[in-house]
Amino acid sequence: MLYSKFVRVLAVFFIRKLAVLNASKPTFSSRAMFWPLLLVVVTAVAGAKPSIRLSPTITPPLIDGQLHDPCWIECKTIFRDFRQVSPLENAAPTEPTEVRMTYDADYLYLAIRCLDSEVDQIIAKEMQHDRDTDSDDMLTVVVDTFNRQNDGYYFSLTAGGAKLEGLVKDKDTETPEWDTIWYGRSRIADHGWTAEFAIPMKSLAFDPVGESWGFNIERVIRRKQEIVRWAGFSRVKEVTALSDLGEITGMTGLRQGHGLEFRPFASVKYSPLRSRSDDHEWDLKPGFDLTWHATPSLAATLTVNTDFAEADVDERQMNLTRFKISYPEKRNFFLQDSSLFAFGTSSIEDASLPYYSRTIGLTAEGRPVDILAGVKVAGRYGPATIGFLDTQIDETDSVKSKNLLVARSTLDVFGESNVGVILTNGDPRANGNSTTVGADFNYLNSYLAHGKSVDAHLWLVGTDSNLLGERDYSMAAELNYPNEPFSFTLSAQRVGKDFDPALGDSPRTGVWHLYADANYIVHRETGLVRTMTVNMKPYMVTDLHGKSQSIDHNTPKFIFENAAGDSIEFKYSPQGERIDEPFEIYKGVVIPRGNYSWDRGCVEIATTRARALRAAFEMKVGGYYAGHHRVFAPNLEWRPSSHLYMGLNYTLQEIRLPEGSFNARLGNFAMNYTFSPNLSLNTMAQYDNKSRLFGTNIRLKWIVQPGNEVFLVWNQNYTNPSDWNLRPVDSQVATKVAWTLRF
């Protein structure tokens, strides 16, 4: 905080000097010298970022959530200067927060005391790693180890003990899928709650010569929906906005060891219901990941016999469109460093992507394909980022063993912006080949007047596919103004008819996507409605000649939210489709060719996750092609304690068409029991009446210690014929053990 205090002292000096000058009627020359200096000081005060200097410790603390260790009692770095971000920008917090920080050669340590005048109102309902933390009081620590405002890390810890970590890419974008080894414990005490963090230097990339890191810390007081931070108090920006970070200095004598990380693993699978006679019921699969940090910011990973037995199952979706749907990546090998492979930025839901990691090691239906080996090089080298991934996948019934390559690189320009290229080679769908090349430019300016920012993106991608036998391209542009009270996005993408990124995703080809999104938000300090948002979101898809194919205009949409976080939303949507080829929307129901247009209204109500019982309900009513469509979607979540979570989602779609009528049902039930932050049992059951499949997934996860894990997973699927007798069609029990050794 020394810099801020120094600037404030200068400001006081000049203000006092102004009083003296006014009293003594100074000459023109003295006024001419004084006012520019005063302007410089006032500007510095307004833009000054907090800075603290850390002192190392000789005796590291025991990470148990209790702040009684000698290093905390003797700690020289203590700060309490937090300000509100929400609901009132830059106001004093309603509850005080005290932070102590130190470090040694191997760890960065933090001890935080979150004082609270109502201890019994602290919300601590989640303690499972990598789960939704929107329900709890929590702390988030952000570090930019290179202090370049480009990429960084964040680590979150709830009052219940749940840990969550992630990467920050492209200045402010969070990537929560990233995992690493770190330690954190929290406890509820007499006057609030306390937390301790220990972040290993071996888990971070940094410049050993640099002594200063970007840094920020945020506290959420959930029952009040209050957010306080040490730096960066703009309500429109997240704590991961790297341009708003403060600074910690004095980081010397750090070490990353030899930069080697060896992670052996082995899985045993038992599948008694295999349909192919040449498959075995038992399958033993050992493998390993070997990571070498060639530099503190650049790592190379070799994976052999990669296995994803522990990955979460996909949440089932009901597809009633003529286009395929995409599922999020859940496999850790592809999630690690995924931000470095991201290409372009698009707000369009059906945008085409040159690289989509689920094309590697999974069929289009989601069935696994063995990855025999892979090499990944990812990180930062000077002003450039590098992402290189080369994998060899096993053969399938119809495709031979293939080599699949993805290469991505960006170069920083103009301070906050970058230019980049991408290359993919290989086709997992067929025995032919496919190549994709692209280039993008991503502009960011986060220093507009009044703390505003703007970003823009341009990209061009070409494909050469043996499967289609043609070459084609896609290009896009997007402009974002993400500010308050007014924000907007304008986006356009052209996708050629024969555009075919074999290692990417392109749901619609031969089209133009035209998209806009405008918001106006109003905050009130008092009253039943604390936040009101008015949204206009027109979206149109045309063919390459400009003839309309689809429209989905959310115009207008109104969202109201109270101080507790409960919300209600009203939306009106004119929609339409041009069908050139008939398609089957449901078994036996075919939509014929023609032009269709209809209107739809929607109401969504949701209570805050800060309550033990959360309820949400969505209802849509309106037309659908040549008929009518009604949707009812209730949702319940119950968190009676930090140990138990239960969630129920159900969607009923009543569709009445001249070609046929049907009800589409989709249900999902989840129950998680967390014995401790290191031991959890998660259960999921899903059913939809389109596939008539009922599936269950049970996963026991034991974190022996961060980096060393044991999994027990049971997957069971049943078919539901018309007689309603469940018949098992697929079953698998898997055990996986993974250990991490660092050198």
Q: Which of 198, 216, 249 is the last residue of a domain?
A: 249
Same domain for 124 and 33, yes or no, is no
Specify whether the CB–CB gap between 305 and 372 falls below 8 A. Answer: yes
What 3-state DSSP class applies to 438? strand
Of 409, 500, 408, the residue nearest 462 (C-alpha) = 500
Q: Which domain holds residue 39?
A: 2-47
Please classify residue 32 by burial: count the beta carbons closer than 10 Å to its beta carbon, then call 0-12 exposed, 13-18 middle and 19+ buried. exposed
Whether 163 and 17 map to the same domain: the answer is no
C-beta atoms surrounding 452 within 10 Å: 17
Residue 129 covered by a domain: yes
As given in the structure block, the two tokens for residue 208 are 């050993």
Query: Distance of CA 504 to CAs 165, 229, 433, 507, 649, Å?
Result: 27, 39, 14, 10, 30
Same domain? For 41 and 152 the reply is no
Query: For residues 650 and 633, what is the distance between their CA atoms, to the nearest angstrom?
Result: 6
CB contact set of 257 (below 8 Å; sequence gap of 6+): 202, 742, 743
- For 19, list phi and psi in degrees, rounded to 5: -60, -40
What is residue 35's predicted lDDT score, i.e. its pLDDT?
41
Residue count (the chain): 743
Q: Is residue 174 part of a domain?
A: yes
Q: Based on the structure, what is the number of domains in the chain?
A: 2
154 found inside a domain: yes
Claim to verify: residue 6 and residue 144 sit in the same structural domain: no
Residue 456 DSSP label: E
Q: How do 589-591 and 226-229 pair as beta strands?
A: unpaired
How many alpha carbons lie under 13 Å from residue 531 in its C-beta half-sphere? 23
User: Domain ends where: 196, 226, 249?
Assistant: 249
> What Rg do the C-alpha atoms of the chain give, in angstroms?
28
Q: What is the mean pLDDT of each run of 10 residues along the chain (743 residues)?
A: 43 43 40 41 54 94 93 93 92 96 96 95 91 89 89 92 87 80 93 96 85 96 94 90 92 85 92 60 89 81 88 84 84 83 80 91 81 91 90 90 95 89 94 94 87 91 91 95 93 95 92 95 87 95 94 91 93 94 91 94 94 95 94 95 94 95 95 94 93 92 93 91 75 93 88
CATH of the domain at 141: 2.60.40.1190
Same domain, 142 and 25: no
CA atoms within 13 A on the CB side of 281: 2
Separation CA 513–CA 662 (nearest Å): 31
Long-range contacts of range 637-643, CB-CB < 8 Å, 24 or more positions apart?
A: 637/609, 637/613, 638/612, 638/613, 638/614, 639/125, 639/126, 639/135, 639/612, 639/613, 639/614, 640/612, 641/125, 642/124, 642/125, 642/126, 642/127, 642/160, 642/161, 642/674, 643/127, 643/673, 643/674, 643/675
Q: What is the pLDDT of residue 382?
A: 80
Q: Domain boundary at 232, 249, 266, which?
A: 249
Residues 24 and 144 occupy one common structural domain? no
**Number of Cβ within a 10 Å radius of residue 155:** 23
Q: Are 493 and 479 in contact (CB under 8 A)?
A: no
Neighbours of 258 (CB within 10 A): 11
How far apart, in whole angstroms, are the C-alpha atoms of residue 407 and residue 740? 27
Whether residue 530 contacts residue 523, with contact meaning beta carbons closer than 8 Å, is answered with: yes
In a domain, 74, yes or no: yes
Residue 417 lies in a domain: no
Are the C-beta atoms of residues 674 and 695 closer than 8 Å to each other? no
Rounded to an integer, what distance in angstroms lies between the CA atom of residue 162 and that of residue 185? 8
Residues 81 and 115 in one domain: yes
Whether residues 97 and 228 fall in one domain: yes
Whether 123 is covered by a domain: the verdict is yes
How confident is the model at residue 638, as a pLDDT? 95
Residues 23 and 68 in one domain: no
Residues 185 and 164 in one domain: yes
- Does residue 179 fall inside a structural domain? yes
- Is 10 within the bounds of a domain? yes
Q: Based on the domain organization, do 170 and 201 belong to the same domain?
A: yes
CB 124 within 8 A of CB 114: no
Residues 143 and 20 in one domain: no
Say which residue the tokens 């200045």 belong to. 171
